[in-house]
Amino acid sequence: MHRKTFLLGTALCALAAQAQAQDEMTCKGEVPTLNVIGQGMPAVTALDDKLSEFNDKWDTEVRITMLGENERRAKARLDASTGAGAYQVLYIDEANLAEYVSAGWVYPLDEIVPESYDLGDFRTDLSNVATVDGVQYFAPFVGGGDVMMYRTDLLEQAGIEPPTTLDEMVAAIKTLDEADNGAHGWSARGQRGSGMNVWRWTPFFRAKGGEWLDEGDMPAFNGEAGVAATELYTELMDYAPPGIATFNWSDSVEAFRGGQVAILIESDVFGPWMEDPEKSSIVGKVGYAPPPDPLPSAGWAHGWAVSKVGASDDCAKIVAGDFVGWATSKEMEQRRLEAGIASDIGRTSTLQSDSFKELVPQDYIDALLETGPKTDLLIMASPVWPEIGDTLGLTLEEIFSGTRDDVQAALDEAAFFAEDSLMRLK
Amino acid sequence: MTRKRFVTLTLVPAIGLLATLALVSIAGAVWFAVMNRTLRSPDYDFVGAYNFLRLLRDRRFFNALEISAIWEAVTVAGTLALAVFLAVLIFETVKKPLYRNLICFAFLVPVLLPRVAAAFIWRFLYSPSLGVLNYLCGLVGIGPVEFLADPSLALISVAAVDIWQWGLFFSVILLKLLETLPRDPIEAAMLDNARTWEIHAFVTLPMLRGPLISLALVKAVESLRSFDLIFVMTGGGPGTATETLDLYAYQMGINMGGRISYASAMSLLLLVVTTVAFTIIWKAGKKWAS
């Protein structure tokens, strides 16, 4: 490194440190409470016993309101859109990002998070999901793609190799369901919601060649691909635990780690959940692989963003920005690993760390690496996606629960609704 | 100051405050209902009766209306039937005051549980793979029963939780009312060799007509506010099998794209329907009680 560059770098770091110290001097005690909308992911709940450090730093009190996924989205939307601004930090995800950015509810990340938190270290796949038109809006702490989890003991018993194609997987599910092994062949999400059943249905839809919109930007998910995907998804539900028509991700994952299911495709973040000896009855009996071809992997990311409505004054903006940086910092991720939490990883440096490799099986890491190239944002990237996705989710739940049996007519109705949403957007 | 003038003057502030609170929110709902306001955008226009006319073509709205009516009928009738049955049963079979009080105390517990807590508890009890109810069903060779995932069972399964919470509470009230009734008519009926059920069907319960109507109305109003219970247990599903009007208004107004104008129109129609229905029921009840 040249001497000049070194000196310039040192000077910039010193300036940044000085600026941050000044912020602390000016804003300490100026924000009595920092309200945060949260969702019960391990990365969020793990903050509980560390909040006092942040509270002491800014002489504030961080209050995290924990909500379920759908409620969290509704609450954040209501808070920002009505101008109430009760929350300074919002929990945000891939499904809402386009809506929040187009409505101007959140700050670009680099405007509010201090550079010292090394924004460049966030995982590229997650940062891509958090970015609109080249600007990153939230700091991801969890996300990724899909992974196929299967019971190695049951597959071995039945003499089946881990499936590598969709057809093989369907055949394996049927065989494993029929076998006298105390487990169902498959599980999936049935409960309505753009982030629920639609999320898991979408890879099937894409695998069948489906596109959300046609050339005229009108809904096309009611075409042949949509019908074929829905029929296959519904058929697979016959090999799943009872009640699957209203299963959310938690029901599905718990059924698998409770030993009731042989094959499951879920978000890769749930892999380490299967290796938790306190909560899982199948530790050491799970194999991991990418979703079988041609199923793509549904890319997603959850993270923290700062609300323009809730943090409109300078100090609220500074404290909220620092919270986002602190809560998603490298140090915080290492502390989570020390506590045995390996599911929520937002940073490249953490993925490469030895402490991560110690906590998860090697074939899980291999599956993650293999799935990476198949991972993409599969949902419709549109501000009206939440309402289109939720309506489609309702339609799918009606089909899964047997309330409706004409798949084409049901999808046509959802597409008709989506057309209205898209027209209003224009 | 005359008595009438005194009564009027003391009532005016309270009524004024209540009227202001009610009218402001209703006026707000009317204003939203004639606009095309959504939460996503700050821009909106006047659309007149469009939202109301669209509701008349909305299949889901009519489904929600039907589910709300069924929900009201099932929970009110179920609660009263259970309350009457249990009150009479305890009145006739448990004579010791200590045991009666212990039973009353136990019966009060469900209603003291927060609705959301009760909903979560029952959601687990109903679980097809992990729930106790399905375990019991399995012992007698039934099931697994998809209590909350089967469209034909879901509404009645959620209603059962509501009836469990309120039916036991109402049975305590009815038991205490039975204890306060004068003994003479009951003893006269006994002298006429009336059987136990006849005594209650033709003597005690008709004497409790007034309180029973009041309880029915209280329950009917309470049943309109079952959003939390249904939301936690089924979220309105499977499909729209348990989607009541308040749930649909929430889905439209807050959850799905934030069409608050449309949701406001729905709320106003709900207000009109319930006001008319309750007026008719109230008048019919008064006529029956007199």
Residue A57 CA to residue A20 CA, distance in Å, equals 12
Q: Quick check: helix, strand or coil at residue A89?
A: strand
Q: Measured in Å, how far apart are chain A's first and last C-alpha atoms?
A: 53
Give the list of residues 6+ apart from residue A320 with CB closer than 8 angstroms, or none.
A34, A88, A89, A112, A306, A307, A310, A311
Vertex B40: Cα angle to B36 and B45 (nearest 5) = 25
Q: Is B116 on the interface with A (CB under 8 A)?
A: no
pLDDT at residue B239 tops 50:
yes
Range of the domain at A305: 3-144+300-352
Claim to verify: residue A31 and residue A81 sit in the same structural domain: yes
Interface check for B40 against chain A (CB to CB < 8 A): the answer is yes
Chain A environment of B137 (Cβ under 8 Å)? none
A403–B238: do the CB atoms touch at under 8 Å?
Answer: yes
Residue A390 sits in the same domain as residue A282: yes
Which residue range forms the structural domain that includes residue B161?
Answer: 34-289
Q: When comparing pLDDT for B200 and A12, which is higher?
A: B200
In a domain, A154, yes or no: yes
CA dihedral B56, A245, B254, B158 (to 10 degrees): 80
Element (H, E) at A132: strand A131-132
Identify from A81, A194, A246, A416 which residue to disrupt to test chain B contact, counting B C-beta atoms within 10 A and taking the largest count.
A246
pLDDT at A1: 46
Q: Is residue A177 part of a domain?
A: yes
Asked if the model's pLDDT at residue A219 lies above 90, the reply is: yes
Residues A409 and A282 in one domain: yes
- Tens of pLDDT, residue by residue over B73-132, are 999 999 999 999 999 999 999 999 999 999 999 999 999 999 999 999 999 899 887 789
Interface test with chain B among A387, A407, A423, by most B beta carbons within 10 Å: A387
Cβ partners under 8 Å of residue A322, min gap 6: A23, A54, A57, A58, A113, A114
Least CA distance to B250: which residue of chain A?
A74
Q: What burial class does residue B210 get, using C-beta atoms within 10 Å of its C-beta: 0-12 exposed, 13-18 middle, 19+ buried?
A: middle
* CA angle (A252, A254, A255) in 5-degree steps: 65
pLDDT confidence of residue A68: 83
**ipTM of the complex in this document:** 0.70
Contact between residue A103 and residue A80 where contact means Cβ atoms under 8 Å apart: yes
3-state secondary structure of A253: helix
| Helix or strand holding residue A62 (H, E) | strand A61-67
Please check the confidence at residue A18 and state whether its pLDDT lies above 80. Answer: no
Q: Does the pLDDT at position A17 exceed 60?
A: no
Distance to chain A for B238, nearest Cα, Å: 6
Cβ–Cβ under 8 Å, residues B204 and B186: yes
Which among B129, B256, B258 has the least Cβ separation from residue A391? B256
Q: Is the pLDDT of residue B290 over 80?
A: no
pLDDT at position A193 over 60: yes
Q: What is the rounded CA–CA span in Å between residue A325 and residue B44? A: 37
- If we measure between CA atoms, which residue out of A143, A24, A163 comes closest to residue A93? A143
- Judged against a pLDDT cut of 60, whether residue A14 lies above it is answered with no
State how beta strands A135-136 and A131-132 pair: antiparallel
Helix (H) or strand (E) segment spanning residue A265: strand A261-267
Q: Is the peptide bond before B144 cis (omega within 30 degrees of 0)?
A: yes
Q: What are phi and psi of A147, to 5 degrees?
A: -145, 145
Q: Are residues A133 and A31 in the same domain?
A: yes
DSSP alpha helix (H) spans, B94-150: 97-112, 115-126, 132-139
**Of all helices (H) and strands (E), which one includes residue A170?**
helix A166-178
The verdict on residue A136 lying in a domain is yes
pLDDT of residue B253: 85
Residues A172 and A27 in one domain: no
A383 in contact with chain B, both atoms CB, cutoff 8 A: yes
Domain assignment present for B57 = yes
Tell whether A387 is covered by a domain: yes
Q: How confident is the model at residue A264 (pLDDT cuts 50, 70, 90)?
A: very high
What is the band of A19 on the pLDDT scale with cuts at 50, 70, 90? low
Beta carbons of B256 and A244 less than 8 Å apart: no
What is the average pLDDT across B42-49? 86
| A274 touches A286 (CB < 8 A) | yes
Asked if the model's pLDDT at residue A147 lies above 90, the reply is yes
Q: Answer for the pair A411, A222: CB distance below 8 angstroms, yes or no.
A: yes
> Smallest Cα–Cα separation from B233: which of B71, B104, B123?
B123
- pTM of the entire predicted model: 0.75
Of B145, B149, B255, the CB nearest to A390: B255
Q: To the nearest whole percent, how much of chain A has pLDDT over 70?
A: 94
Q: Does residue A358 sit within a domain?
A: no
Least confident piece of the model among A3-7, A30-34, A385-389:
A3-7
Q: Are residues A136 and A178 in the same domain?
A: no
Is a pLDDT exceeding 70 seen at residue A12?
no
DSSP A212-228: SB-TTS-B-TTSHHHHH
The yes-or-no verdict on residue B270 having pLDDT over 90 is: no
Is B149's Cβ below 8 Å from some Cβ in A? Answer: yes
Report residue B162 as tokens: 């509501």
Q: Which residues pair with A304 in a beta bridge?
A: A91, A139
Distance between CA B75 and CA B55 in Å, rounded?
Answer: 26
**pLDDT tens digits for range A33-44:** 999 999 999 999
Question: B8: which residues sit within 8 A by CB, 6+ positions away?
Answer: none
Closest CA to B233 of B125, B72, B119, B157: B119
Closest approach of A6 to chain B, Cα-based (Å): 48
Do A271 and A410 have their domain in common?
A: yes
Residue A117 has pLDDT above 80, yes or no: yes
Q: What is the mean pLDDT of residues A368-390?
A: 85
In a domain, A94, yes or no: yes
**Does residue B28 form part of some domain?**
no
Count of domains for chain A: 2
The verdict on A189 and A272 lying in the same domain is: yes
Same domain flag for A15 and A55: yes
Asked if the structure places residue B4 within a domain, the reply is no
Place A280 in a pLDDT band, splitting at 50, 70 and 90. very high
Q: Identity (one letter) of the amino acid at A145?
A: G
Residue with structure tokens 């799918």?
A396
Residue B10 lies in a domain: no
Query: Do the Cβ atoms of A394 and B239 come within 8 Å?
Result: yes
Asked if the Cβ–Cβ distance from A401 to B258 is below 8 Å, we say: no
Using CB atoms, pick whichever of B143, B238, B255 lies closest to residue A246: B238
Question: What's the mean pLDDT in B149-155?
Answer: 92
What's the structural domain count of chain B?
A: 1
Distance, in Å, from the CA atom of A91 to the CA atom of A227, rounded to the nearest integer, reads 34
CATH code for the domain in which residue B175 is found: 1.10.3720.10
| A209: its two tokens | 């060649």
B35 - beta bridge partners?
B46
Q: How far apart are CA A148 and CA B82, in angstroms?
A: 49
A294 upstream amide cis, omega within 30 of 0: yes
Q: Are residues A172 and A283 in the same domain?
A: yes
Identify the residue with better confidence: A39 or B40: A39
User: What percent of chain A is predicted at pLDDT more than 90?
Assistant: 63
Concatenate the DSSP letters of all residues of A1-21 into one string: --HHHHHHHHHHHHHHHHHHH
| Bigger pLDDT: A385 vs A334 | A334
Give the pLDDT score at B284.
83
- Taking the Cβ of residue B254 and every Cβ of chain A, the question of whether any pair is shorter than 8 Å is answered with yes
Weakest mean pLDDT among A281-285, A361-365, B211-215: A361-365
Q: In this structure, what DSSP letter does residue A238 have?
A: G
Does any domain span residue B25?
no
The pLDDT of residue B111 is 93
A368 falls within a domain: no
Q: So what's the pLDDT on residue A5?
A: 54
Distance CA A420, CA A193 (A): 19
Please check whether residues A403 and A335 belong to one and the same domain.
no
Asked whether residue B195 is domain-assigned, the answer is: yes
- Decide if A66 touches B, using CB distance below 8 A: no
Q: What is the mean pLDDT of chain A?
A: 90
What are the φ/ψ torsions at residue B145 (nearest 5 degrees)? -95, 130
Residue in the structure block whose two tokens are 């991991």: A288
CATH at residue A281: 3.40.190.10
Helix axes B151-180, B115-126, angle to 10 degrees: 130
Distance from CA of B273 to the nearest CA of A (A): 26
pLDDT of residue A352: 85
Cis peptide before A291 (omega within 30 of 0): no
Mean pLDDT over B158-164 rounds to 97
CA distance A251 to chain B (A): 10
Please name the member of B145, B149, B254 whose beta carbon is closest to the beta carbon of A74. B254
Q: Of the candidates A97, A148, A141, which has an alpha carbon nearest to the alpha carbon of residue A296?
A: A148
Please indicate, yes or no, if residue B5 is contained in any of the structural domains: no
**Does A326 lie in the same domain as A237?**
no
Report the candidate in A120, A39, A59, A95 with the shortest Cα–Cα distance to residue A322.
A59
Report yes or no on B163 lying in a domain. Answer: yes
